[in-house]
Structure 1
Amino acid sequence: MNRLTDFFYHLRTKIAFFPTLISVTGLAFAFLMIYLEQLNISASLIKVAPSLVIDDTDTAKTILSTLIGGLISLTVFSFSMVMVLLNQASSNFSPRVLPGIISDEKHQIVLGLYIGTILYNIFILISIEPTENSYQTPGFSVLTGIILTVLCLAAFIYFIHHISQTIQVGNILLKIKRRTTIEIENIVEQQEEKTLSFSETTHWHAYEITKSGYFYGILNADLLKLCIKNETKILVQLFKGQFILDGTIAFLAEKPIDKKLIEEIMDTLLFSHEELVGENYMYGFRQISEIGVKAMSPGINDPGTALNTIDYLTTLFIDLMKKAEFEYLTDNHGTNWVQIKCVKFPEVLFNVMATYRQYCKHDITVMRKLLYMLKTLTAHVINSNQLKEIETEIEQLRKDAKLNIENKRDLSKLDSEFISWS
């Protein structure tokens, strides 16, 4: 990640990103058409296809006014649907899924098309000016406005279809799972191309952070360049997604460094006052587990969704077990200059299991599914430490089940093979 990528990512996640770009495009297109009208493009079109050109000024003004009013109503209705969608997603699933829905480019493009067409029609309407005792009618521009409005109607139909698909929990889970899988696979692919060796850091020099907020990433290229230039290796002590307080140890340096270099390194560490998904795969596990736990609440009471979330978590855990405990920034010669601490598999597994055990311990179906997930993970372990942690979670799961499920027949089915019926 570099500064340009980081800036574009922040900009891209805003709901007004594509609408702004398309609106500016619509405005520029309107001025282009006004210029072409001054070159009598409408007169040329009348000679070729007179039936397509509106040459009556009053009719053109009426049509444009009607299109503008209709598109404004359509825009208001569409924005209202997006707000309802966000409210429903926040209430039924998790507030963490909102950034993914807001940044959906399909929604933004449709809304941008509405606004861009409105601006186009407004400026074409304004361009109809009196010329002596008559009006110069921009017939071709009016025809273009009608075509753009028809496209908006088609986009609205697509918008209704897409928004009805977006709110379905299965599609939300699939989108989160795909994004998280890609993030983990990218890390695993990079680590396979690198050596995982690094210098001993016991006696390295520690430097405190002078910022506070959620740590969400590193400007990799800038940090690597600083380390190579100053011939010093560093160990970043911060975890992505962690809320950092002023005074926390930010990194360890191989040798003492001056104040200027400390500030330059600190500038490569990215902080925000709100949680950002970014490239943090941890949020995938968090979002899916939150959806599963919320589905088990009395207000929603949807154990089928909880079972589905466990399926997706199983595949993500299998991918996560392939990832090393550290990430590295490496130069072209294969030398690791920066070591970055990452949340380990046991910690992720514990956080997910502790959440599910707390809220699902009375439901034998969900408990069986969790046990089935853990047994599945034992067949994909990379080392003995992972197996030990999974066996510990299996033991704790059985303990909670015995304490909270009173029906002996239900308990007898806990270890039997799980056949999903959801």
Structure 2
Amino acid sequence: MKKYFSNTIKYILILESKIAFYPSLLSLSGLLFALLMYYFESKGISSYLLEHAPVFVVNDTETARSLLTTFIAGLISIMVFSFSLVMILLNQASSNFSPRVLPGLISNRRHQIILGIYNSTLLYCIFTLVSIEPDGNKYQLPGFSVLLAIVLMTLCLGAFIYFIHSISQEIQVNNIMDRIFNTAKMRLKHLIDSEGNNTNEFPDTSNWETIYSNNSGYFQDISIETLKIISDREHIKLEILPIKGTYILKKLPILKVDKELDDDLLNDVLASLLFSKSELIEDNYVLAFKQITEIAVKAMSPGINDPGTALNAIDYLTELFALRLQKNDSSIVCNTNASPILKINAVDFKDLLFQIMAALRTYCKHDIIIVQKLFFMLNYLYKSDAMAEETYKDAIEQELKNLYEDALETIKNSADLEAVKILNPTI
């Protein structure tokens, strides 16, 4: 039961990133609230308030109809305008920055909630309008429900003003990079803290049984809690072979296990490996490196030509790499007895640094300011004392040499070349 609950939570978190998740929930709540008020109206809540607190009741049928009709038309207009703004935001972010930032913008909870408030209020107004009797007297008119519609419409107007402010802030590249950075920073810190002072060696898996994928798609996340429950119950140890974010084809090796599994247990294990097309930094911090790098590269393109954004992106990358230095290349998960039961392979620091630097060197090596910033980043990492593995320093030194070599081939000004030589500590 626990493992199914854990998987359910994972799937809910995936659904939460969809733009229709919160609007659908809030729309359902608006519909249920309208039905609840219809029930209270049938019990005479409006007639009671009309006698004891008439200020809380709208007691004119034509006024109530006019208000609700106006609210419905106005809410439809606001919703169309708001959805148009969201589409413009996504289009500009894709064109100016990177298509990879779209999942993070779509999963913005505040915008989803605002759109949900619009839709739920619209449904409430429609059902309240339908409940008005054509020839009803003052006791049959849902006067209190109409007053609540006025309150909800006022809330929608406030939400619309906030939505305009939020959408104008969200499209700014600094805010986009800041959101990406903060999300990745939290994820990396969580992974580093989870590793703690764990010095347990994971057993050699070369002779373990290999399990092949029964599915194809992008491997995005692992239900670790479910695997821990299965491992404790069945007394097995596992190694996850692919790296998060890679595309897994059917019949390719996906994990290793220290003993043979029956079909039911194998299906439970494979169900804990989650495939998804969405790219969320909450699941895979490497996406943050890629997204910030793509923003920097796009900023240096002739069509945009924004070196300032590229410099800011390198600052964010510097801090993220400094955090990545503190993490091991592979994560080992232990059970309650501190015994290693699960090994999760991650992208090597050397490969990650090479991929990021290769893109930046290719598109930014002609700009001496950007080259100086890259040397500053690599020198800062090279001098860091907080390295989880000694091989990290060798990887940084190699990238310093690569950057220096590219800079010498591209930059021709003697003063700029002298500045480059000063910045390279490896010569």
TM-score, normalising length: structure 1: 0.94
Deviations 1:302-353 (A, max 9, x none): 1111100100000000110111121122111011111111111111111000
Correspondence 1:388-403 to 2 at 5 A: 388-403=394-409
Once the 2 structures are TM-superposed, how far is the Cα of residue 121 of structure 1 from its aligned partner? 0.8
Q: CA separation of 1:297/1:70 partners in 2, compared to 1, >3 Å: closer, same or farther? A: same
Runs of 4+ in 1 over 6 A off after TM superposition: 132-135
| Alpha-carbon contact 1:235-1:338 (below 8 Å) kept | yes
Deviations 1:343-394 (A, max 9, x none): 1111111100001001111111111100110001012152432111111111
| Alpha-carbon contact 1:214-1:275 (below 8 Å) kept | no
| Alpha-carbon contact 1:57-1:136 (below 8 Å) kept | no
The residue number in structure 2 matching 1:347 is 351
The residue number in structure 2 matching 1:284 is 288
Are 2:74 and 1:70 aligned?
yes
Once the 2 structures are TM-superposed, how far is the Cα of residue 52 of structure 1 from its aligned partner? 4.8
Are 2:343 and 1:322 aligned?
no
Once the 2 structures are TM-superposed, how far is the Cα of residue 197 of structure 1 from its aligned partner? 1.4
| Alpha-carbon contact 1:177-1:284 (below 8 Å) kept | yes
Give the CA RMSD over aligned residues: 2.0
The residue number in structure 2 matching 1:46 is 50
Aligned mate of 2:153, from 135, 145, 149: 149
Deviations 1:179-206 (A, max 9, x none): 1111111111111153331112232232
How far, CA to CA, are the matches of 1:373 and 1:172 in structure 2? 21
| Alpha-carbon contact 1:232-1:337 (below 8 Å) kept | yes
Unaligned 5+ runs, structure 1: none
The residue number in structure 1 matching 2:216 is 212
Q: CA separation of 1:45/1:417 partners in 2, compared to 1, >3 Å: closer, same or farther? A: farther
The residue number in structure 2 matching 1:12 is 16
Aligned mate of 1:101, from 85, 98, 105: 105
The residue number in structure 1 matching 2:364 is 360
Correspondence 1:289-300 to 2 at 5 A: 289-300=293-304
The residue number in structure 1 matching 2:267 is 263
Once the 2 structures are TM-superposed, how far is the Cα of residue 416 of structure 1 from its aligned partner? 5.4
Q: CA separation of 1:4/1:32 partners in 2, compared to 1, >3 Å: closer, same or farther? A: same
Tell me the amino acid that sits aligned with residue 371 of structure 2.
M
Partner SS for 1:401: helix
Are 2:25 and 1:21 aligned?
yes
| Alpha-carbon contact 1:368-1:415 (below 8 Å) kept | no
Partner SS for 2:420: coil
The residue number in structure 2 matching 1:129 is 133
Moved more, 205-214 or 338-347: 205-214
Unaligned 5+ runs, structure 2: none
How far, CA to CA, are the matches of 1:20 and 1:278 in structure 2? 23
| Alpha-carbon contact 2:72-2:125 (below 8 Å) kept | yes
Are 2:417 and 1:406 aligned?
no
| Alpha-carbon contact 1:20-1:112 (below 8 Å) kept | yes
